[in-house]
Structure 1
């Protein structure tokens, strides 16, 4: 066990999987129920897939997942370790897709019956802050506040530039 780490922060997939193997739902509580999972963000989908798999094994009848942060479609260069689009659950490999189509793609990928994201305005209201005082770069793709113009290259290429 790697301790109280967050799987999306870990740069290596093996470490992300190791962290998630400690998800142990209680079947007696979950069996034949509609389970609603609320998470702060969905980055790579590693934890989400592990949670859904564990809940299905425990007998959940239906699983809905609500994400409090808006859909993450772009890399973060502000300290969190997901510097390339190809690592994101929302990666479309160049296909033009609407936000709803991307949500459906992610929903199918992680295996939930329903997936819903908060939007930036609602999140700002919920935490009592002005939207423009919060960072939504990884949702909007607007990197102006960071003073950079990323080229969305692969992780290895980005790491050599940082």
Structure 2
């Protein structure tokens, strides 16, 4: 059963390894809270209906569309955004490096959601082939059509080969 949602007031969210306290309404989405209350603008608002994947974050290591989740229900969960994906020393995550090396973006708007979805995919188990990667990533849309290089970047990290 999900936790009870308190009225507008202070809520504690664990984001990118840091406990953050912010005032939110019961109807505030995690996406809007991350962007408007916590100043984490890497998570993008695309369709706001859970259809494009631009708002993908990890909640307890699993891919989550933050536009469909109420922020107040995420207390006691570990939320990871693109800003928190880097290695502990601050260097880019292997997926970030692979996306850059493969030029797996054009306009870049969908890139944070693509990378976060791929990071969640790593936690869930890598698909064995490119078709499996495409299927697993099908919830993340790219208007520029960089799908081939996105798949290649994910494959590079999965296989540990680099670009």
Determine if the TM-score, normalized by the shorter chain, exceeds 0.5. Answer: no
TM-score (norm 1): 0.26
